Amino acid sequence: MYKKLLISIAVLIIAIFSCSICFANNGLQDAAEGVRNAVGGAENAVEDAAKDISNTSKNATENLEKDANNTENAVMNHNTTNTEKTTTTDGNYTANRTATTANNTFMGMNATAWTWLIIGIATIAIVALVWYYSMQVRSSNGRD
């Protein structure tokens, strides 16, 4: 059994070294060119992607700057228009036109009076509850 295995290995080694074509030389050269082409292609892809990203961010920045300038111009024009409107009044403006009137009441009381009324009622209720619970504790301890 060992003789067959030893003879098979020897024949295989002789067959490998007896070939006149050397695969190592052409194979390594082809492999090196393949690796070089793959690396070059990857380099080009990364470079193109970086250029695309750079151009996109540059365009976005330019568009944002244009929009900001347009907004600034619109605000300046609006302010100019408002200034012209307020400076062309006839001088008859009084604060009574925008002041609130006494009609904002409910049952004859305004919002401030209602707020104080609710706070007072809540205070009386809290004091009554504290007194009730303190009397209940006192009576449950047998101190009537």
pLDDT for res 122? 95
Mean pLDDT split into 10-residue runs, the chain, 144 residues: 82 70 59 76 81 83 86 78 54 56 72 92 94 83 59
C-alpha dist (Å) from residue 50 to 1, 46, 54, 56: 64, 6, 6, 10
pLDDT for res 94? 58
H/E element, 83: helix 23-87
pLDDT for res 115? 92
In the three-class reduction of DSSP (H, G, I as helix; E, B as strand; rest coil), residue 99 is classed as coil
CB-based contacts of 138, cutoff 8 Å, min separation 6:
144
Annotated domain spans of the chain: 25-86, 109-138
Beta bridge partners of 109: 106
| Mean pLDDT for all residues in the chain | 76
